[in-house]
Structure 1
């Protein structure tokens, strides 16, 4: 009873203080009002009090001098944008009308922070030397450097130059945003000071970007970058790198690979795309901002392209973060991404490149007269589908049709961003209900077939919609591996035990023959072998090397076709 009374009195006291503050503000006694608010907050310790927040805002407004600034926007020489034939041309028309009529084709935003002699000078010299025959403005951002970066930027010889000086470094995002906001070109490129561009870098990326109005983001390959974007040119020094990059940077449309996710050493964006998606989600204070940006690009209707005919050097990759801090930053960023995208994981749901399966993709002569039809089942956000598309592009087959089926609804939207065919979500038993009228040249099953409730029913359904000369690519989880052996003996090791059906490779091959098919290629993919698993494997006396490899195999990859 006494606690309730005390609480009521405390609430009454708070209410009275707020009334007093309100009176002080109304009587222009702002200093006393601010003092009382500070005392109130020191007692209450509640930063989320909306009434106090609004009072503090009123005090700031009262302290602010009265101003009236007239801003004139001269549109005398501009014309109203046209609707356009589709959403992309409409966006481009509006983006063009919002800019200056004499805007450059490209805005290059170069971000520098210290390391003037180590990186920045070389970075800018490369931009000036290797960005030729292109109309571009150069926006140089000194992001709070303590060295002579600002003075150097003033000396850089370029006829269309802007310099941004950030007085104190409060993060790379602040400097980058400061420069990007000034960009007026139809395309915008961001370059950090540890990136060394190379001959034909920009012209090749522009050729890619301008080949399709749906392309919003273009990223080159580099050295020591993750996400299967790294290329090793085996150079010995800077001059050798530039020489080998010049030979490497030959424009080739076959090397423009569409991706779900990109890690950009540098990136080119269409201005319209950047206007639609924004520069950075401020919530990604930790890692995964690049992953988020690529997702926003795609979900705005654009394509993100890895331009594999352009190499730039990432010279600063050896600057390592504190390992523990880096680990924590990755963990926090990964959680942020998953929370934003309703359960999607930036790694597990996107990095399923299925490189072994891709090695079996063939480009058939029949595609000279038809568009390849491709179906992916349970391929998460769709990376395997794009990799089949990219494999065919490598072979000069540019037009394909992608369709997808997933048992999980959370993948539907991202699959729709890459598929022009049907995207269905249902239980796998009903696949044939959606695709019975179609035939596919390539079918890829993302999960091991013996993890499904009815594996042979699923196999039969897939073979029914497979073209006569088509390829079915799938995995068979090895249920006779080292994990099974040790679990039988009561020892649990870290292997996937979510198997519904124990199906041997021989048994599965017999079932394929029953359906008039065969596995044209079979390869074993091993478990990731850590020290404990290697120790256990070495403790067993295998009769043959083949027996050892079978025990170490996690999955069998099968390339299945119908018998002639």
Structure 2
């Protein structure tokens, strides 16, 4: 069975990462190596994880600061590519994997060389029979990805379901596809980078799909956060900004102009709704839209936003 390189990001998340590693201890059927990218954690927890899980094939890559999802994963991928793994799995640290998960994913990839990216069914960790995400279908009129199985009851099957994107929390990509299309676009920082990668892989002639029989448990709230009325968190900034970049990359000027106008209108509607609900973080939506048009990418206005959000102590910042 070919080997897999697992890229796992950690940012002040020991209590999420440790259970993930515990589940990896039980994984069977596939040779794998873990590349733990510590995204500038403040409490030396990467060293703690390395010590506690010394029995795992674990390599720690310590970064001086939080570089975001795209750049953090890229630092891991750059090192992993120097080894001999045939497949690379981006795996969120706030996930739990079943014993046979890696074997199912690799077996499916080996059976179909046209697959470039294969995703897994993401189930809510708190409700293990309910689907959070399988894969999205792209509406090119709105640039929205819709998963018709979201929040439905999970019924396992052996189907390899074609999709337009998969969740970055459990994204497996072949070495050949990755070497052909390149790494994640670091301008996104967080949000849309996996969708962008999937479209680039598809444009290179590979298929994108979700393995409906391979699932993980995902602590979704730990990754997204929630900040009161209308659930505005700091990821809203990246969503509204990065959708502009996503459109500029994958639509022509004339085809993208009405879609960009629609995105702007919907962003303004969401802003007005959030304000009407008393959400003081609503300006993040406009902040993101503005930076998208200004092409202020990567961290963008994140440092300024974090300083601004310090006035909301009851609403923790999630980056």
Q: SS in structure 2 opposite 1:181?
A: helix
CA 1:159–1:310 in structure 2 vs 1: closer, same or farther (change >3 Å)? closer
Return the match for 1:261 from 165, 172, 176.
Answer: 165
In the TM superposition, residue 233 of structure 1 has moved relative to its aligned partner by 5.5
- Using the TM superposition, name which of 145-154 and 132-141 deviates more: 145-154
Q: In the alignment, does 2:202 pair up with 1:305?
A: no
CA 1:157–1:232 in structure 2 vs 1: closer, same or farther (change >3 Å)? farther
Partner of 1:482: none
In the TM superposition, residue 126 of structure 1 has moved relative to its aligned partner by 0.9
Q: How does 1:86-165 map to 2 (within 5 A)?
A: 105-117=3-15, 119-129=16-26, 131-147=27-43, 148-158=45-55, 160-165=57-62
TM-score (normalizing by structure 1): 0.37
CA distance in 2, matches of 1:162, 1:338: 36
Q: Residues 300-351 of structure 1: CA distance to partner in whole angstroms, max 9, x if unpaired? A: 1111111111111111435425517544432222221111123466xx7xxx
Q: In the alignment, does 2:231 pair up with 1:334?
A: no
CA distance in 2, matches of 1:233, 1:153: 37
Do the aligned partners of 2:29 and 2:100 also contact (CA within 8 Å) in 1? no
Partner of 2:100: 200
Aligned residues: 228
- Taking only aligned residues, the RMSD between alpha carbons, in angstroms, comes to 2.8
Partner of 1:282: 186
**Structure possessing the higher radius of gyration over alpha carbons:** 1
Do the aligned partners of 2:70 and 2:189 also contact (CA within 8 Å) in 1? no
Q: How does 1:437-452 map to 2 (within 5 A)?
A: none
In the TM superposition, residue 151 of structure 1 has moved relative to its aligned partner by 1.9
CA distance in 1, matches of 2:233, 2:215: 31
CA distance in 1, matches of 2:23, 2:12: 18
CA distance in 2, matches of 1:284, 1:110: 18
Q: Residues 243-293 of structure 1: CA distance to partner in whole angstroms, max 9, x if unpaired? A: xxxxx766x2xx101112333321111111111111212332453222211
Structure possessing the higher relative contact order (Cα contacts under 8 Å, 6 or more residues apart): 2
Do the aligned partners of 1:222 and 1:231 also contact (CA within 8 Å) in 2? no
Partner of 1:435: none
Partner of 1:501: none
Partner of 2:63: 166
CA distance in 1, matches of 2:197, 2:226: 22
CA distance in 2, matches of 1:272, 1:127: 25
Unaligned runs of 5+ in 2: 124-131, 137-145, 260-319
Do the aligned partners of 1:221 and 1:230 also contact (CA within 8 Å) in 2? no
- Using the TM superposition, name which of 159-168 and 300-309 deviates more: 159-168
CA 1:268–1:284 in structure 2 vs 1: closer, same or farther (change >3 Å)? same
CA distance in 1, matches of 2:181, 2:31: 25
Do the aligned partners of 2:120 and 2:166 also contact (CA within 8 Å) in 1? no
TM-score (normalizing by structure 2): 0.64
CA distance in 1, matches of 2:180, 2:59: 24
CA 1:164–1:283 in structure 2 vs 1: closer, same or farther (change >3 Å)? closer
Do the aligned partners of 1:220 and 1:308 also contact (CA within 8 Å) in 2? yes
CA distance in 1, matches of 2:202, 2:98: 28
Q: Residues 503-527 of structure 1: CA distance to partner in whole angstroms, max 9, x if unpaired? A: xxxxxxxxxxxxxxxxxxxxxxxxx
Do the aligned partners of 2:181 and 2:200 also contact (CA within 8 Å) in 1? yes
Q: How does 1:235-274 map to 2 (within 5 A)?
A: 252=158, 255-274=159-178
CA distance in 2, matches of 1:197, 1:231: 20
CA distance in 2, matches of 1:128, 1:309: 21
In the TM superposition, residue 160 of structure 1 has moved relative to its aligned partner by 3.2
Q: Residues 389-425 of structure 1: CA distance to partner in whole angstroms, max 9, x if unpaired? A: xxxxxxxxxxxxxxxxxxxxxxxxxxxxxxxxxxxxx
